[in-house]
Chain A
């Protein structure tokens, strides 16, 4: 699979993967972390969250881990998921590098 096919990622997807890259989490933990990290710029609701998670699972970006408490499912990023995150970050950095001079040029505002 060519990771480039999946780029660009939606901001929300990137944030979810980024949170999972730091360690496994269950649904609520993910929602909290994404909202904190984006300073509530990205709000998640449970119904959509699980659709995203299923899609990522189907793509092999994440997998399920054994949960510690009750039936709550815990999600963990895979190597493939990490590859996607770094590819997307690289893409964004390249983009920023290309766009920044526009402002530095004095053309902005």
Chain B
């Protein structure tokens, strides 16, 4: 045949065909035949008699490419027989491919089974990959700094100047650095003032944490005490300076003082949040001239160090203990209780200590869920396999070799595994992206990306499970008398005790695991409810809080005068009903991280041990604005606020503990708390550092009585109405008095209150969600098992019905069967839940780890679900048609 008149005109798909064949198959095919194949396709196209035929020809050619590519690769890897002797059927496919094709076809015929197992496996693989990826990134990986395993942190908070001065003498340290972060205000000519976080560091900081300059330079020893230079972090430079490459050498106005920018850190610098907390905007050299550093009570600097190689933490600890003993000896008056105990902690532990418990809990919950999912996959495969026992027996009778049956069943498991794995991969990617926002709050959370190794591991495990359980039916037919298999396959399988026991075991196992999850969710939920029902002691509705950081405040008088002016300005806003300010507002700081100012109260009679009192300096209007009620006495008024004796308000628990009753406290003196303090009133107990944090002993004193200036003031306003531009109006009211004071945000107080229990809410939500999923899975497992059993017992049920057995009797029998399974599971799970409760103990509030209500509720939920899941199979059992079933025989 000669090419036709259309010769030379190529079809667009022809090029696709050629390209696919050049790119995809392994070497041999490409080299030898690709050109020929294209040439032939061209000939075919040229020989086509119509446009439609051309399309048919080219489409057929392209459609066959994937199959050819797969077969070629399998052949190239030695799997299948691309050039072997097997030429039957589709001919071109190797054995492996044929089995896969067979598997796909047989799965297509059982879409429910295929979909259910793929989704279950996808769920398991996806969730485990997600959680394990997070856990691996956050907990297990070493910190991204050289010698990270030798990096340590000096515990017990911040440290004073005398300690810092002696650190050079600690031989165990190869390198150490001190750092201290403060809020400062940046004035800008072309925008609103900004609040920044500035960290002062010793130059070793950048060596230890491997900082490199992107522009200019970092800090050196020569910069000692030079407070007018700054090294910017990359994000700050990019966002505020617009990534200006000429920034080095320019100055910025910080707290009213010009500061020269000498460098910008590189983008890949990993912020050591475990030491510094929130993101820092710029660094400056340590201020050794600060007179505070001479004082033993000025605890301001965090200390991080790298140990010399070969030095153990214990050995270093001894040296630190000796150092603290020296410090205590130098300041005997201050250290009358003995030296401070400041053991070293590995920096890695420090990084993860706050989240380790939560993440491990999450991992535990996920592990339990995975167990249930796997059990269900096992269920599905076994049920399917058993229902095919007859098919297997027939095929063996026809001469199929064991190996053939095994490889076909494995192919089916493999297809389900592959599809499930793909689903899981998508799920994990989605979940990691979805939780990305939440995870930035975890240490190193922002660096979490999908880890292929973890995915492959969980994917491999799931596929292995599918393979093992998928092969159960094949093994059952192996070595069995075929005749007997054929005879029994019709009805006798339900009589196989081993299989029934295995399936019942799986159901009991699923119910037990679900119970553990549901009961844990119950405990966490009860804790959450207990916490949220606590009276916070403030009326948070309609209250807005505005944290400010006044700079360059030199005296307490200046602080009060400037902030009073802002307060007056804010009070003039029409929307504002009441307003106040103080050192900090309730719920501004939460968790065990008690802020600000506390003192120890020593009872005079000495009978009672001393206890901590939290001190709150507040302006006028504090109690009215926050809605905290006085139970006795009254609040000081503006006139006597600055007088001696200083009027204070104490909390009711304090009054009761010290004076026996609230009323008895009014008018009493409290020289221990503040010079010349006298109790003017007693306020109801409030929560201040979180709903679940005790805050029993508190004293409020007027800002007029402050004896030191403070760099922060948080305002609270109670609004009559909420105008859309409330933020703007409050900002303008502040700037009317303090034009250089940043007003970064205005928060609803009830959000702060809710924030303090957010972790609990998240925990109970998570366990609740997992518990519900586990419950559904267990119900599905039970449902499947019962339905299958009923199907297998059709003849028996039919005969019994024919002989006059009542429908309800048979239905009850099936339901009872389901409930008994569940009850056994609840019993086993209950015992485990009691143990798990102990693990949860530190997470619980106001509820015992062995709370009978949570356990009983979880148990009833499971049994009710089981009864529900048994209903459909029971109904079917009752509807068995005696005639039909007998006819089958």
On A, residues with C-beta under 8 Å from B are 5-6, 8-10, 12-13, 26-29, 31-32, 43, 45-52, 54-55, 58-59, 71-73
Contacts and interface: CB of A to CB of B under 8 A. Distances in A.
A46 B38 contact: yes
Given A27-B40, A45-B60, A47-B37, A55 B83 contact: yes
Interface in B18-75: 21, 29, 32-33, 35-41, 43-44, 47, 60-61, 63-65, 67-68, 71-72
Contacts of B67: 48
B85 interface: yes
Given A27-B36, A52-B92, A47 B85 contact: no
Nearest to B43: A28
A48 B64 contact: yes
B83 A54 contact: yes
Contacts of B592: none
21 contacts: A10-B87, A12-B91, A13-B87, A27-B36, A27-B37, A28-B1, A28-B39, A32-B47, A43-B60, A45-B60, A45-B63, A46-B36, A46-B37, A46-B61, A47-B21, A47-B37, A48-B68, A50-B33, A51-B29, A54-B33, A72-B36
Contacts of A52: 91-92
Top 10 A-B residue pairs of the complex, sorted by shortest distance between their CB atoms? A28-B43, A27-B40, A10-B91, A50-B33, A46-B40, A46-B37, A55-B83, A47-B68, A45-B61, A45-B64
A28 B72 contact: no
For B83, B88, B89, which residue has the most chain A Cβ atoms within 10 angstroms?
Answer: B83
B82 interface: yes
Contact of A10 (B63, B65, B83, B88): B88
Contacts of B60: 43, 45
A52 B61 CA distance: 15
Contact of A73 (B36, B43, B63, B71): B36
Given A13-B91, A28-B1, A51-B71, A46 B82 contact: no
Contacts of B68: 47-48, 51
A6 B85 contact: yes
A43 B43 CA distance: 15
Given A45-B61, A52-B91, 16 more contacts: A12-B91, A13-B87, A13-B91, A27-B36, A29-B1, A31-B40, A31-B44, A46-B17, A48-B68, A48-B92, A50-B29, A50-B36, A50-B37, A51-B29, A54-B83, A72-B39
A31 B36 CA distance: 13
For B39, B40, B41, which residue has the most chain A Cβ atoms within 10 angstroms?
Answer: B40
* Majority-rule SS of A interface residues: helix
Nearest to A57: B83
A47 B91 contact: no
A50 B17 CA distance: 14
Contacts of B17: 46-47
B97 to A, nearest CB: 12
Nearest to A30: B40
B93 to A, nearest CB: 10
Contacts of A45: 60-61, 63-64
Contacts of A31: 40, 44
A45 B36 CA distance: 12
Contacts of A46: 17, 36-38, 40-41, 44, 61
A57 B62 CA distance: 24
B36 to A, nearest CB: 6
Contacts of B47: 28, 32
Contacts of B88: 8, 10
Contacts of A48: 64, 67-68, 92
A32 B92 CA distance: 20
Interface string B220-233: 00000000000000
Contacts of A50: 29, 33, 36-37, 40
B57 to A, nearest CB: 8
Contacts of B87: 6, 9-10, 13
A48 B65 CA distance: 8
A49 B92 CA distance: 10
A43 B44 CA distance: 12
Contacts of A54: 32-33, 83
For A8, A43, A47, which residue has the most chain B Cβ atoms within 10 angstroms?
Answer: A47
B42 to A, nearest CB: 8
Contacts of A27: 36-37, 39-40, 43
B92 to A, nearest CB: 6
For A13, A27, A29, A45, which residue has the most chain B Cβ atoms within 10 angstroms?
Answer: A45
Contacts of A51: 29, 33, 68, 71-72, 82, 92
Contacts of B61: 45-47
A13 to B, nearest CB: 6
Nearest to B83: A55
Contacts of A13: 87, 91
A28 B1 CA distance: 8
A8 B84 CA distance: 14
Nearest to A50: B33
A12 to B, nearest CB: 6
